[in-house]
Amino acid sequence: MRVIIALGMVTALAFGPTASAKGAAKGNAHHWETSPHHLSVLVGTTYTEEWGNAFTLGIDYEYRVSDFLGLGFVAEYAFEDLDAYTYLLVADLHITHNFIAQIGPGVEFHGSHKMEVARVGLLYEYEVAGFTISPQLHYDYHRNHKSAVVAGLAIGMSFCEMTIKFDRKAH
């Protein structure tokens, strides 16, 4: 899990702030208008016909490119007998202010098996006190394997890039 969080932070630091601040002065800006970086944590379940339901934790990073498009990655782990890691590169299509479709390719590791996966999902994002809350439903298609349905609730927040300053004074 530490590797996933570190990867998210490194990716976030790689992008400079490019979001417009339109509406921010009015106090009613959408979270992405103050920062293009958004990180959320998913708690949910993954259902497959073969394994049933498995408790699932995930992390989702989005870099908001425009009003309509966000690009990012998803990393999830389905516990219990399923024991599967899923990594996806995704596009978040912001159909409305709150309604988002997520699509993207990826790879899943299930035991010693590595398989390709394609995700199509929907989420509805609410903003509350600087945080986002989004119920989500995703369909993960696995070629030559049974597909999965991931359902859960994500809690996230936008953040600015971090600036690290070094003090050159000798101690």
User: What's the Rg (C-alpha) of the chain?
Assistant: 17
Structural domains of the chain in order of their starting residue, each with its CATH number: 2-9+35-159 (2.40.160.20)
**pLDDT, tens digit, 9 for 90 and up, residues 96-121:** 999 999 999 999 998 888 999 999 99
Cβ-based neighbours of 23, under 8 Å, separated by 6 or more: 29, 30, 33
d(CA 19, CA 33): 6
CA 53 to centroid of chain Cα atoms: 21
**pLDDT, tens digit, 9 for 90 and up, residues 69-92:** 999 999 999 999 999 999 999 999
Q: pTM for the full model? A: 0.76
